[in-house]
Amino acid sequence: MRDASDQPPAVSAWQGRVVLLNFWASWCGPCRHEMPALRAIASRFAAQRLSVVGVAVDDPASAQRLAREVGVGYPLLYGRNAADELLQACSAGTQGLPMSVVLDRRGRVCARHAGALDEAGFARLLQPCLAR
């Protein structure tokens, strides 16, 4: 996968952090709807060493266009095939978008949620993982 600058992600920046991976696509209405909540959660829990990372399961050009339109405010990764593979690996067979997967500070899956969440829903999903 690549970031918005077409560079591989600096995964080392997420070591020792709780990482919320949010899988989305530009054609997914619920994905677009939850982006402001993800931006708020990234800011709200930054001091607790949370990193929010959007993973576009989509054509990079379409995804980047939506990200600019919405003003995402957290890092995004692009790469249709790689994003699909990562989604399959993290989702434990659950289908659909949006999909949120929380990795604990050791990089292990701590929580998953299929479907859109609001800010309170993301906070509930994250609490057990941030407390570890």
In the chain the domains, ranked by start, together with CATH numbers, are 17-130 (3.40.30.10)
Pairing relationship of beta strands 50-56 and 76-78 according to DSSP bridges = parallel
Q: Which two tokens stand for residue 27?
A: 């054609």
Q: Which two tokens stand for residue 20?
A: 């919320």
Helix (H) or strand (E) holding 96: none
Helix (H) or strand (E) holding 80: helix 80-91
pLDDT tens for 43-58 read 999 999 999 999 999 8
Q: Which two tokens stand for residue 128?
A: 């057990």
Reported pTM: 0.92
The answer to whether residue 80 scores a pLDDT higher than 80 is no
pLDDT bin (cut points 50, 70, 90) of residue 96 is confident
Q: Measuring CA to CA, how many Å separate 44 from each of 50, 58, 66?
A: 9, 28, 23
pLDDT tens for 15-49 read 999 999 999 999 999 999 999 999 999 999 999 99
SS3 84: helix
